[in-house]
Amino acid sequence: MKTLAEKFDAKTGKKRILALDGGGIRGALTLGYLKHLEDIIRKQHDNPEMLLCEYFDMIGGTSTGSIIAAALAKGMSVDEIKDKYFELGTKIFGKKYKWYRIFEIDDLLKAKYDDKALVKELQNVFGDTLLGDQEAVKTALVIVAKRADTNSVWPLNNHPKGKFYDSGNGNNKAIPIWKCVRASAAAPTYFLPQSIEVGGDNGFAAFVDGGVSMANNPALQCLMVATLKGFPYRWQMGEDNLMIVSVGTGMTRWKKLPKNIGKSTLLNWAANLPEMFMQDASWQNQQILQWLSNSPTSVEIDSEVTALEDDILSDEPGRKKGLIHYLRYNVFLDPVDLNERFKPEKPYTQKDAENLAAMDNAKNCKQLFDLGFQAGAQELKPKHFPEQFKV
């Protein structure tokens, strides 16, 4: 298997990226997909113990996706993460601020949940491991957070030649992984922002959830980190050189009758805007990546341009050969889709679907995992992972 230095190095063969969406407790659905992915990789390499960190050269995530990404990068199996995740979810979404605790009134007005449980559980999982630990972290790791005081997306990563890895401008290598993940998962209204010492003139910076940016689906951001010259990786693009596997946390269908839109109040719009922006960002990310690839998982996002089968950007004009090999897996949390696709004994209702779509209902962990596992059995195919990308 490749060493960490070989994974960083652009000259050491084919590169594989795993990118994991944000979505609160719905990360359990992601784990269902990853269980199938792990099984496919193990069978392909005839190694029943192979870990995803051994296959992927870069693993990135946003918010709940960053928790799973960091755990994978540390060498945990999907089953190990699943057990920890179910336990973590119950604890971090179980302790709300109490209205009668007057001494916490300031925090109560800013966040729904007390973050003490979140911090404790992240510390239990990641311990004192630093972002720059070249032994404990087994692969390139990208944790996407949003710096609130400058309104900029920060893809915290562990490449030792990174501009802010170890310099007067910053010292990313010394940030504990639990703190990076806490920053990425600091969803506004759910948890308070996370302060991190970043060096430079300001010293400290305040971070909020990376999901309140264009990178809640971090696949495009990971591609940028891997290939743009401002970052140190500079991996070579090409359908036979670079593969991106992107896994979601479930999507809702936007169903609003035109006659009801005009009746929406300021509060209605305020409540719906975050989901509207997150969906727009995710679809835009997916559409751009389909444009760059001849993806076997492409779907129609815009009925005017269809699935972009005839619009593949390529460095070989006239050929259907993309700039990346791109795979996207996700499922609609909608009663019509769920019932048609999974044929449950008891059909899903609209209320059931809305309950599953909640980002903070830890009681849904097992059901979400099972849905992701069922969807993975339908969607993930061994042929999606070409032989040239074997380790």
pLDDT tens digits, one per residue of 330-372: 999 999 999 999 999 999 999 999 999 988 888 999 999 999 9
Helix (H) or strand (E) holding 140: strand 140-147
- pLDDT greater than 80 at residue 387: yes
What's residue 106's pLDDT? 46
Structure tokens at 378: 């339908």
* H or E element that contains 154: strand 152-157
On the question of pLDDT at 376 being above 80, the answer is: yes
- The C-alpha atoms of residue 4 and residue 233 are separated, in whole angstroms, by 12
133 is catalytic: no
pLDDT of residue 269: 62
**What mean pLDDT value characterizes the chain?**
86
Give the residue ranges of DSSP H helices in the chain.
4-8, 27-44, 52-55, 64-73, 78-92, 105-108, 116-126, 177-184, 219-227, 258-261, 266-291, 335-342, 350-357, 365-379
Report residue 146's pLDDT band, with 50, 70 and 90 as the boundaries.
confident
Residue-level pLDDT at 62 = 93
Helix 177-184 and helix 64-73: axis angle, to 10°? 160
Q: Domain segments of the chain: what residues?
A: 4-94+113-254+264-389
**Hey, which residues does 243 pair with through a beta bridge?**
16, 325
Judge whether residue 170 has pLDDT over 80. Answer: no
pLDDT at 193 over 60: no
pLDDT digits (tens, 9 = 90+) for 71-118: 999 999 999 999 999 988 877 765 554 444 444 444 444 456 667 778
- Fold (topology level) of 4-94+113-254+264-389: Cytosolic phospholipase A2 catalytic domain (3.40.1090)
Mean pLDDT of 256-276: 63
Please list, residue by residue across 333-370, b when 16 or more beta carbons sit within 10 angstroms of its beta carbon and e when fewer do: bbbeebbeeeeeeeebeeebbeebbebbbbebbeebbe
In the predicted structure, residue 154 carries a pLDDT above the cut 90: no
More confident residue, 151 or 346: 346
pLDDT of amino acid 78? 98
pLDDT tens digits, one per residue of 201-229: 566 676 765 666 788 899 999 999 999 99
Q: Which residue from 295, 242, 264 is spatially nearest to 17, judged by alpha carbons?
A: 242
> Angle at Cα 349 formed by Cα 374 and Cα 246, nearest 5°?
35
96: amino acid identity, one letter: K
Q: Which one is predicted more confidently, 156 or 314? A: 156
pLDDT band at 191 (very low <50, low <70, confident <90, very high): low
Interatomic CA distance for residues 89 and 152, integer angstroms: 28
In this prediction, residue 358 carries a pLDDT of 87
Q: What is this structure's pTM? A: 0.91
Choose the catalytic residue: 57, 114, 115, 209: 209
- Residue 162 pLDDT greater than 70, yes or no: yes
Compute the distance between CA of residue 390 and CA of residue 388 in angstroms, rounded to an integer: 6
pLDDT at residue 199 above 80? no
Q: By three-state DSSP, how is residue 76 classified?
A: coil
Catalytic annotation on 166? no
Q: Which of 210, 180, 216, 177 is nearest to 195 (CA)?
A: 180
The answer to whether 161 and 232 are in contact (CB under 8 A) is yes
- Measure the CA–CA gap between 22 and 359, rounded to whole angstroms: 10
Q: What local confidence, expressed as pLDDT, does residue 188 receive?
A: 56
Per-residue pLDDT reduced to its tens digit, 316-333: 666 678 999 999 999 999
Checking if the pLDDT of 59 tops 60, the result is yes
Q: Report how far Cα 156 is from the mean position of its chain's Cα atoms.
A: 13
CA–CA separation, 83 vs 321, rounded Å? Answer: 40
Query: How far, CA to CA in Å, does 330 sit from each of 238, 246, 252, 254, 374?
Result: 24, 9, 11, 16, 11
pLDDT surpassing 90 at residue 306: no
Q: What is the mean pLDDT of residues 43-60?
A: 98
CA 144 – CA 246 distance, rounded (Å): 14
Alpha-carbon dihedral angle through residues 336, 342, 343, 344, given to the nearest 10 degrees: -100
Joined together, the tokens standing for residue 76 give 């945990």
pLDDT score of 200 more than 70: no
What percent of the chain clears pLDDT 70, i.e. is strictly above it? Answer: 80
How confident is the model at residue 104, as a pLDDT? 47
Query: What pLDDT, on a 0 to 100 scale, did the predictor assign at position 359?
Result: 82
Residue 260 buriedness (CB in 10 A; 0-12 / 13-18 / 19+): exposed
What would the mean pLDDT of 15-32 be, rounded to a whole number?
A: 95
Q: Which of 66-70, 160-164, 253-257, 386-390 has the lowest mean pLDDT?
A: 253-257
What is the C-alpha separation between 328 and 37, in angstroms, rounded? Answer: 12
Amino acid at position 5, single letter: A
pLDDT at 108: 42
Query: pLDDT: is 171 or 378 the higher one?
Result: 378
Distance set, CA 145 to CA 180, 183, 347, 369 (Å): 8, 6, 38, 25
Catalytic residue among 21, 57, 63, 77: 63
Asked whether residue 66 carries a pLDDT value surpassing 60, the answer given is yes
SS3 (DSSP) at 205: strand
